Amino acid sequence: MSRLPIRVRLTLGFAVAMAVVLAGVGLFVYERVGNELLGTVDQTLVAQAGEEADTGKVDADTGGGTTLAQLFAPGGRLRYSQPHGLAPLVGATVLADALSGSRVYVDEHVAHHPGEWRVLVERTGSGPRDYWPVAVVARSLTPRNESLDHLRHQLVLFLPLALLAACLGGYALAAGALRPVELLRRRAEAVTAGGPSTLPVPAARDEVSRLAVTLNDMLARLHDAFEHERRFVADASHELRTPLALLRTELDLALRRPRSTEELQDALRSAAEETQRLSRLADDLLLIARADQGTLPVRPELVDVDDLLADAQTRFRTRADALGREIRIERSGLQVDADPVRVGQALVNLVDNALTHGQGTVVLAAERQDGTVELHVRDEGAGFPPGFGPRAFDRFSRADEARSRGGSGLGLSIVELVAAAHGGTTGLRNLPGGGADVWLSLSQGGTDRQPRDPAPSPQGIREDAGPGWPRPA
């Protein structure tokens, strides 16, 4: 059954339901007509019984000569019979029931009169009970039975035809209702990576229309995901190709002719820098790939936030001194239940961004916000350029599209992954007095409560964000 087409299954189910309904209607009509005809016969018998009590006889033409009548004395003696010579229609028991005041109907066969007869036995007259006669009137049920037979033959002929017509109509309706689904199937079959990416939406606002809208939304998401992955692969290939090309060039130049010790050291130093860049990029790509397969694994433990900030400060102190800049910590005394390695990795990316793209002093701070701890990295640079905020945390997203500053565009993406693995979020804003503020929140925090900054918008951008937002990693 499950292998049959849907329209056939619908038609079969509709046919069974219609067969039950038509059979029930036919039986109801048959019984109702039979009862109505029998009621007509009973009304005629009552009228004839009254006529017999008044005149002592029944008009033989009433009902087309299909009436028999008898009149019994209270003692059960037959006083009158129409036609003459007719045997008693009922016995003493029925007469006794009638004498008690009951109106008795009996269906029986009468000798020498074919067919079934409807007999009414009723006490008539007035005065003392012992002088009340009993009228017996019988009427043939042959006309009623013939009418019921005719009706039955019509129902037997009509109901199957009605069922057939209903099945054909049901099949047509099912086919028409499923036609948009078949169109959706054919269009969906033609959807490819480079082909059409939308399905036709029926004009009717029904379930099929809503299904088409849902499928189109799904296709749009799949298309976006495919484009995202394609850009990811293209950007990763580009990022890998650039340091590999530089590394190969340095090695080729070093081997092209004899070099002095100083020249070889410079070539090896440059090659080591490109190798380090390749290693870091490979680590970042591996981290993102692991995150795509599920939640980034973390090993939380209770750590001091100030220690995390101090570790990030120590790692970049030499570089900051070389740039003539300062990295300052605003101590908070907070503690957080987090993975120190992952959180440290996120802070390293934020501080690296601040040193690479910002200016002035880099401030590392922590704040308690509604049961979470926010780790902030602020600088005094120009802030983020306009329009960069919504895509700041996208992979390979950089404000400097020419890639002149050497970043891979994965730093903020990794910060977002680390925050999500700890049940938190990320955010950024341009500071009113100049500079940028980037933070990640961790869902579990310490006890000290700090003043609250303006709340971030749903996209992680503060409502007071300036004109230039996010910057690259």
101: alpha, beta or left, given left = phi > 0 and alpha = psi -120 to 50?
left
Choose the most confident range, by mean pLDDT, from 124-133, 235-244, 314-323, 444-453: 314-323
Of 119, 149, 179, at which residue does a domain stop? 149
Domain assignment present for residue 459? The answer is no
Query: Residue 272: its pLDDT value, please?
Result: 81
Residue 466 pLDDT level (bands cut at 50, 70, 90): very low
30 against 447, higher pLDDT: 30
162-214 pLDDT, tens digit per residue, is 999 999 998 898 888 888 888 888 888 777 766 556 777 877 777 778 888 88
Maximum CA pair distance of the chain? Answer: 156
Of 149, 170, 190, at which residue does a domain stop? 149
Rounded Cα distance, 130 and 162, in Å: 60
Q: How far apart are the first and last CA of the chain?
A: 59
- Whether the pLDDT of residue 442 is over 60: the answer is yes
Of 149, 166, 191, at which residue does a domain stop? 149
**Structural domain range at position 218:** 207-292
Per the CB < 8 A criterion, the answer to whether 379 and 435 are in contact is yes
343-352 pLDDT, tens digit per residue, is 988 898 889 8
Average pLDDT rounded to a whole number, residues 366-378: 89
Domain assignment present for residue 163? The answer is no
Query: Residue 454: its pLDDT value, please?
Result: 37
Same domain? For 323 and 392 the reply is yes
Report the CATH number at residue 54.
Answer: 3.30.450
387: alpha, beta or left, given left = phi > 0 and alpha = psi -120 to 50?
left
Percent of the chain with pLDDT over 70: 79
Query: Which contacts qualify for 112-117: CB closer than 8 Å, 24 or more apart?
Result: 113/68, 113/140, 114/142, 115/140, 115/141, 115/142, 115/145, 116/140, 116/141, 116/142, 116/145, 117/68, 117/141
Average pLDDT rounded to a whole number, residues 361-386: 88
Q: Residue 235: phi, psi to the nearest 5? A: -65, -40
Q: Is the pTM of this model over 0.75?
A: no
54-64 pLDDT, tens digit per residue, is 666 666 544 44
Name which of 44-53, 153-162, 280-289 the model is least confident about.
280-289
Which residues neighbour 243 within 8 Å (Cβ) at sequence distance 6 or greater?
A: 274, 275, 277, 278, 281
Rounded Cα distance, 115 and 137, in Å: 16
- Tell how many helices (H) and how many strands (E) occur in the chain: 8, 12
Strand partners, 338: 301
Give the number of domains in the chain: 3
Rounded Cα distance, 232 and 46, in Å: 98
Residue 405 pLDDT level (bands cut at 50, 70, 90): very low
